[in-house]
Amino acid sequence: MNFFERLSKLDRRWVYLILAGVVVITVLMKFSTPIRINPEVRAIYDFVESRKAGSYLHLAVDYDPGSQAEMHPMTYAIMEQALAKDIKIIMTALSPNGPGMAEQAMLNIMDSVRLHTGKEVVYGRDICFLGYKPYPGIVILSMGQNYRISFPSDYYNTPTDSLPMMQGIVNYSNVDGIVLITGTSGVDYWIAYANGRYNAPLAVGLTGVMAADYYPYLKSGQIFGLMGGMLGAAEYETLAGRPARAMEAMRVQVWAHMVIIIFILVGNIGFLASRRRGGAR
Amino acid sequence: MKKEIPLLIVFVSGLFMAVQFFVPHASSEFIYEFVMEWSIIIGIFALALGIWSLVRVSVNKIRRRSENWPYAIVILAGLAAMMVFALAWGGLESYMFRSFFNYVMIPLHATMFSLLAFFIASAAFRAFRARTALATVLLISALVLMLRFNPYLGPLGGPEAGLAQWVLNVPNLAAKRAIIIGIGLGMVATSLKVILGIERTYMGSD
């Protein structure tokens, strides 16, 4: 077996080992990564930034722990920005493990806002979490009619009508916009029903692998903004001037991607060279 | 009657939901909201059925000592523990419920997902080869996009970024729109077949 054949048939354990090494090294080393802001991320930031105090934002936390590394930084960045501007946040979770993610984000952000700004975020006045109901399509449609159809009470079993911030809030027409953070195909329901049927302004934060699939909706105006994966979250943090979780993780992701690109190139060089030698013979 | 009544229910429900969309009258809205409440209730019963099915399958697996049966014990134990914590031991806000989610569920999911990075790297290395003209186009597109998302390799805002944006906004958009329109037409056709009783597999018949 010649050098090129060896190169193209490198044992997968070497790939794992090199990738693991790069991940560990970049976790341990502290350096920043340059970030270029894409217009689809800036659109979400500008939308939240242009809201007045007392506006309402519906934040749909539809992801499971498996995608929290990419999704949590988006949720945190948007919540921090919105609460700093006194925008009221209505949270829902339509994926089975979403409630745990949403509650964790909500409690952490309430604590961090109190610690860093001294501002008290009060549950029911500034933020509320309506909880989870199965069958996202039906729940999204029902919230377009009235939040109380699906959520007569919130996650903690408090009647929705008794939450001060929900007084006078009937459906999507009473919120300024919806930001959906999701790692599932439930995003299609939000686009078709929340935006398509009820004309609610909708922006999405998706995992990196999903992002390319939703550019058509961005171009058609069905969604006004799109954050893709860790990079999208890092762009948002950069815009907000609060580099945090995503910026930390970008360092690792960027170098892991570089390793994958190098492996693809090496594999192809080996493949093409061995094919040429085979042809020459 | 065993077939006619379900077919009638489906026909009337399907027709109502289609027509209701175009009727903004209060009574139409009222029935629509009523139907949605029912759908959610039926959905919750389906969840209960799912739990029952999971318990039955797991118990049978343990009883028959099928392959990997000890995992079925873990499933049942996890299910029972979370139900007890949520229903009888302080509810969703209880320390135990939150701890099980935060310190068991999240790390397990995160670990499974993290392993994907290694499989993707290995698969990209072994399978992403320029074997044919189409595979080469795919390879080049993937590299252009990966370069665009990499701040060190893709010059910020440079011509590569423009090329990547073109790949996303032109070929990707055209292909996705074609697929979306195709799926949409397929869904309309299938819905019509169900409403008109041509498609009856949901009743368990051919």
Question: Is A10 at the interface with chain B, CB within 8 A?
Answer: yes
Lowest mean pLDDT among A101-105, A186-190, A218-222, B141-145: B141-145
Q: Are residues A84 and A187 in the same domain?
A: yes
Q: How many residues does chain B have?
A: 206
The domain spans of chain B are 1-88, 92-127
| CB-CB under 8 Å, A268 with B43 | no
Q: Tell me: the pLDDT tens digits for B49-105?
A: 999 999 999 999 999 999 899 999 999 999 999 888 888 877 777 888 888 888 988
A250 found inside a domain: no
| CB-CB under 8 Å, B177 with A267 | no
Who among B40, B150, B156 is closest to A133 (CB)? B40
Q: Are residues A126 and A217 in the same domain?
A: yes
Lowest mean pLDDT among A178-187, A231-240, B83-92, B192-201: B83-92
Residue A38 has what pLDDT?
86
Q: Are residues A191 and A270 in the same domain?
A: no
Q: What is the mean pLDDT of residues B116-131?
A: 85
A198 found inside a domain: yes
Q: Is residue A121 predicted with pLDDT exceeding 80?
A: yes
What are the beta bridge partners of residue A227?
A: A205
Question: Which chain A residues are Cβ-neighbours of B45 within 8 angstroms?
Answer: none
Q: What is the mean pLDDT of residues B137-147?
A: 85
| CB-CB under 8 Å, A259 with B121 | yes
Confidence category of residue A279, pLDDT binned at 50, 70, 90: low
Q: Are residues A22 and A143 in the same domain?
A: no
For residue A36, give the 3-state DSSP assignment: coil
Q: Are residues A23 and A43 in the same domain?
A: no
Question: Which chain B residues are Cβ-neighbours of A212 within 8 angstroms?
Answer: 145, 168, 172
Q: What is the mean pLDDT of residues A257-267?
A: 88
Q: Tell me: the pLDDT tens digits for A163-205?
A: 999 998 999 999 999 999 999 888 999 999 999 999 999 999 9
Name which of A214, A227, A257 is nearest B168 in CA terms. Answer: A214
Q: Are residues A112 and A213 in the same domain?
A: yes
The CA distance from A48 to the nearest CA of chain B, in Å, is 25
- Cα–Cα distance, B162 to A200 (Å, whole number): 31
A249 found inside a domain: no
Name which of B22, B39, B12 is nearest B195 in CA terms. Answer: B12
Q: Are residues A10 and A118 in the same domain?
A: no
The CA distance from B27 to the nearest CA of chain A, in Å, is 13
Question: Which chain A residues are Cβ-neighbours of B149 within 8 angstroms?
Answer: 208, 231, 257
Q: Report yes or no: A201 and A190 within 8 Å, Cβ to Cβ.
A: no
The CA distance from A53 to the nearest CA of chain B, in Å, is 30
| CB-CB under 8 Å, B129 with A268 | yes
- Cα–Cα distance, B16 to A175 (Å, whole number): 29
| CB-CB under 8 Å, B169 with A212 | no
DSSP class of A66: G
Q: Are residues A85 and A209 in the same domain?
A: yes
Q: What is the ipTM of this complex?
A: 0.78
pTM of the model: 0.86
Q: Report yes or no: A91 and A102 within 8 Å, Cβ to Cβ.
A: yes
A201 found inside a domain: yes
CB atoms within 10 A of CB A24: 11
Q: Tell me: the pLDDT tens digits for A45-77?
A: 999 999 999 999 999 999 999 899 999 999 999
| CB-CB under 8 Å, B126 with A12 | yes
Q: Are residues A13 and A46 in the same domain?
A: no
- Cα–Cα distance, B76 to B79 (Å, whole number): 5
Beta-strand (E) ranges in chain B?
none
A34 found inside a domain: no
| CB-CB under 8 Å, B105 with A36 | no
- Cα–Cα distance, A187 to A207 (Å, whole number): 11
Q: What is the mean pLDDT of residues A84-99?
A: 93
Q: Are residues A236 and A132 in the same domain?
A: yes
Q: What is the mean pLDDT of residues A11-31?
A: 90
Q: What is the mean pLDDT of residues B16-29?
A: 87
Q: What is the CATH number of the domain that holds A215?
A: 3.40.50
Q: Are residues A143 and A23 in the same domain?
A: no
Please list, in sequence order, all residues whose beta carbon lies within 8 angstroms of the beta carbon of residue B17, skipping any fewer than 6 positions away. B32, B35
Q: Which residue of B has its CA nearest to A131?
A: B92
The CA distance from B21 to the nearest CA of chain A, in Å, is 9
DSSP code per residue over B121-160: HHHHHHH----SHHHHHHHHHHHHHHHHT-TTTS-TTSHH
A248 found inside a domain: no
Tokens of B36: 């949605």
Q: What is the mean pLDDT of residues A211-226?
A: 90
Which residues constitute the domain of residue A16? 3-29+255-280
* Number of separate domains in chain A: 2
